[in-house]
Structure 1
Amino acid sequence: MAIRRGHVVLQGASPLAPAPSVHTPSVWKELSLLVALYVGYTASRQLASDNRASAIRHAMDIVDLQRVLHLNVELACNQALAAVPVLAVIAAYWYALLHYLITPVVLFAVARRRPQDYRRLRNALVLATIAALICYLAYPVAPPRFMPGYVDTLRETARWGWWSAQASAPRGFGQLSNQLAAMPSMHVGWAVWCALALRRLVPGRRGLWVHAYPVLTTVVVVVTANHWLLDAVCGAVLVYAAVSVTRLRRNRRTRGHDLSARKPPGTVNGNDLQRSQAHTTWKPALSRPIRARPMPAKNSSTLGLTEGSETTFDMGATLLTLGRRPGTLPACLSDAVRHVGPPHRPLVWG
């Protein structure tokens, strides 16, 4: 095996292609992508339907389905939260702040500490967000706070924070948010994405605590009457599906890279074939004849040689000559030579 400019070369095999390098993502490029995503969300608000009657009908369909599944817990939870103003303010801050704070921080942490996973996780986040925007345009759903009997927690606690009475957007920007975008809940979806990304940073049992974030976010969006329970479930499923798609695409690319790197000689182009043949040239370990030391005169006369003379002979024939008497060591050696076959390599004496 030899190493040559990042390639691993094996005897009898074609050189393996170098592994793809991991580059730290560009900050400006990623910021531009986030800005483009936000602009797309704002543009979708202008394209979204303002037909509240249709959105309420869709919400009633979700309520009917949850009644069949025994999941209608939003009204009881919302009324219980409204009875404790301190918890209502905490829940409002959680809903209005962490969604826009934790996600960029986790994105930055993955880019710095796990650059090899950043592109896949970022693509999953973008894919899930685009899919959610399509759902908002195609199937508008009214949140529970538009239904009778519910308390709009963010409206009631707006004097304690910076958010507007319309939504979690800052004051003056409430008209830019889509009020009929309950299904799916991307508050929960982004929280699930953060948990999956943090698991790459904190593996093992020490990282189990990261799953508390999406669980608590689900509780918050339900008790504040901003999403139905099925909205939260669909948001989590959407993110899991996006992560699975990007992982499958990554695995296919990795498998294709491995197959192209391990092509056998003769199945590639001419240049690769010539390079592989250059590494399969075999040279014998003994490329020169064996040169023995001069024998003493008395032993040389036994073999019919004179000191300092130079000749070649067949070792098998010599052993057969010496092994005339059965049972002696030369005779045993000559028998072995006859069965195995002697190497006909000349010996040079001198």
Structure 2
Amino acid sequence: MTVAERSPEAARPGLLSALRELALVAALFLVYKVGRVAADGHVDEAFRNARTVWDVERLLRLPSELTIQHSLLGWRTLIEVANTYYAYVHFPATAACLIWLYLYRPAHYRWTRNVLTLLTGTALLVHFVIPLAPPRMLTETGMLDLGHLYGPAVYGNPQTDHLSNQYAAMPSLHFGWALVVAVALMAAIGGRHRALWLLHPAATLLVIVATGNHYWLDAIAAALLTAAAYVLLRQHRPAEIEAPPATTSIPRQRATPPAAPSR
């Protein structure tokens, strides 16, 4: 009997499991959004922390976010592409990765889901403790809000936007989630060219810095938290690349040719 011939009762446990996982992932995204709003820190403290981060990066001789942003200013199309990537790739790419893993690499799905949950929860705690204004708000440095100037814009005026916490720049979950997606697909698919999945976090890093939404240190903090999550959950990592789930079927037996009559 093939999968298509199975009774509705046999398929129901799989459907219920999928619905439970969907509800769990939806709850994770909801906690992420609600937690960011709840973690809306004091504005003065957020700007003090932002200036400290900016000064520390200069002491560490990290490339200036201003230089990266200025390299885009002569290319309006690239600015719009960067803003679009920031606005519309973050959630869909993560969701698509989780759905694919759930369908074709269940053990890698559970591992990745747990890493994302631990990373997101830890990041929200940092948002509570260290409110941080993004570089696009440090107008004295020359940084611009490219989303607001060129679109599409993700955030509104900080004074009237009550749907998001704009003072939660560190760590960057945009970069952290992109890194998890890349690691998950590298581990689940393998192959000679698996390192190409790292293009997603690399592009995300350039986008979040060039658009003025994050500092380099935001991405570094996200990378460290991601690494810590993988270390803590290392026992949950699948031992090897999984084979795609096989369809349930009963192989047909070959008909045995009749024995030759005895003479």
Q: Which of 146, 163, 180 pairs up with 1:153?
A: 146
Task: Find the counterpart in structure 2 of residue 222 from structure 1.
Answer: 209
Q: Structure 2: how far apart are the matches of 1:38 and 1:46?
A: 13
Q: Which of 119, 134, 140 pairs up with 1:128?
A: 119
**Alpha-carbon spacing, 1:58–1:164, altered in 2? closer, same or farther (3 Å):** closer
Query: What secondary structure does 1:140 align onto?
Result: coil
Superposition RMSD on alpha carbons, in Å?
2.4
Task: Find the counterpart in structure 2 of residue 192 from structure 1.
Answer: 179
Q: Which of 212, 232, 239 pairs up with 2:226?
A: 239
C-alpha distance after superposition, 1:36-85 (max 9, x if no partner): 22332343244324422111111112112111110142011112222321
Amino acid of the structure 2 residue aligned with 1:47: A
Amino acid of the structure 2 residue aligned with 1:76: T
Residue correspondence of structure 1 range 269-280 to structure 2 within 5 A: none
Q: Which of 87, 96, 101 pairs up with 2:92?
A: 101
Residues 135, 213 of structure 2: 8 Å contact kept: yes
> Which contiguous aligned blocks of 4+ residues in structure 1 show a shift greater than 3 angstroms?
161-167
Q: Structure 1: how far apart are the matches of 2:165 and 2:80?
A: 22
**Alpha-carbon spacing, 1:174–1:25, altered in 2? closer, same or farther (3 Å):** farther
Bigger radius of gyration: 1
More helix by share: 2
Amino acid of the structure 2 residue aligned with 1:77: I
**Alpha-carbon spacing, 1:228–1:93, altered in 2? closer, same or farther (3 Å):** same
Q: TM-score, normalised by structure 1?
A: 0.59
Residues 89, 157 of structure 1: 8 Å contact kept: yes
**Alpha-carbon spacing, 1:119–1:127, altered in 2? closer, same or farther (3 Å):** same
Q: Structure 1: how far apart are the matches of 2:224 and 2:16?
A: 27
Larger RCO: 1 or 2 (CA < 8 Å, sep 6+): 2
Task: Find the counterpart in structure 2 of residue 258 from structure 1.
Answer: none
Residues 45, 176 of structure 1: 8 Å contact kept: no
**Alpha-carbon spacing, 1:46–1:204, altered in 2? closer, same or farther (3 Å):** closer
**Alpha-carbon spacing, 1:195–1:224, altered in 2? closer, same or farther (3 Å):** same
Task: Find the counterpart in structure 2 of residue 27 from structure 1.
Answer: 18
Residues 74, 222 of structure 1: 8 Å contact kept: yes
Residues 86, 207 of structure 2: 8 Å contact kept: yes
Q: TM-score, normalised by structure 2?
A: 0.78
Could you tell me which runs of 5 or more consecutive residues in structure 2 were left unpaired when the two chains were aligned. Answer: 1-13, 240-263
Q: Which of 155, 165, 170 pairs up with 1:183?
A: 170
Residue correspondence of structure 1 range 230-269 to structure 2 within 5 A: 230-248=217-235, 250=236
